[in-house]
Amino acid sequence: MADKNQQTYHPAAANGYSRNDTETGGVDPRELRRQKQKKWALYIIAFVIFQTGIIVLFTFTVMKFRTPKFRVRNFRSFDTFDVQPTTPSFNMRMNTQFGVKNTNFGPFKYGNTTVTFYYRGTEVGSTTLRKSKANFRSTKKVNVPVDLVMPTTLASNADLISDLNSGILPLTSQAKMNGKVEIMFIFKKKRTANMNCTMEVNISSQALQNI
């Protein structure tokens, strides 16, 4: 009878009863760590992709060195205009505006540059632009007079006689402008802006056209 009356003793849980992870809906801490690691990995990958895109954009825009453009930009007036179709001869002083277009994200510093003007391959005048700089993303405008004088070698040139009688004197201008593009005050690269322009002097209107 004593055996029957004996009861099996079960230790009580601290809160009065026991339960396992399944009953409480608990999550394995190792699984939580893995999920956090995956999230951080995704954040890092996204950040790397974003940074790579910024670097590529920066390289192909800000850090790209472009060659500036050097052109005869505008005609202002003639101080002297002496053209004789019958002789033939011409002697002109032309006030011309030159432009140095710099599309870089940094200044273009150039040295003294000589611009030479030709009539059908024969030199008829030249002028010099003093060293200066074109600021970043801007066009430097320089006004310089040019003396255009017919050389004696053209005195009997049939093309010149024909052009003067037609009222149109074709000209070309050529130059090489050597300089350096400077980006972020650190990176520098040499660049040469080449000029090769064509234009016409309209004798009747005393104007420069078709530049």
Digit-coded pLDDT (tens) for 110-125: 999 999 999 999 999 9
Which residues, other chains included, contact 68 with Cβ-Cβ below 8 Å and sequence gap of 6+? 100, 101, 102, 103, 104, 108, 134, 177, 179, 181, 191, 193
Q: At 56, give phi and psi (nearest 5°).
A: -65, -45
CATH number corresponding to 69-209: 2.60.40
Structure tokens of 101?
């277009």
Whether pLDDT at 4 is above 70:
no
The pLDDT-based confidence of 20 (bands split at 50, 70, 90) is: low
Q: Lowest mean pLDDT of 62-66, 83-87, 90-94, 192-196, name the range.
A: 62-66
pLDDT number for residue 128: 96
Residue extents of the structural domains in the chain? 31-63, 69-209
| List of residues 6+ apart from 98 with CB closer than 8 A | 70, 71, 72, 73, 115, 129, 141, 142, 143, 144
Region of poorest pLDDT, from 20-24, 56-60, 75-79: 20-24
pTM confidence score:
0.74
- The pLDDT-based confidence of 24 (bands split at 50, 70, 90) is very low
pLDDT over 70 (residue 22): no
Does the pLDDT value for residue 166 go beyond 50? yes
Nearest to 129 by CA among 148, 116, 139: 116
Average pLDDT over residues 57-65: 68
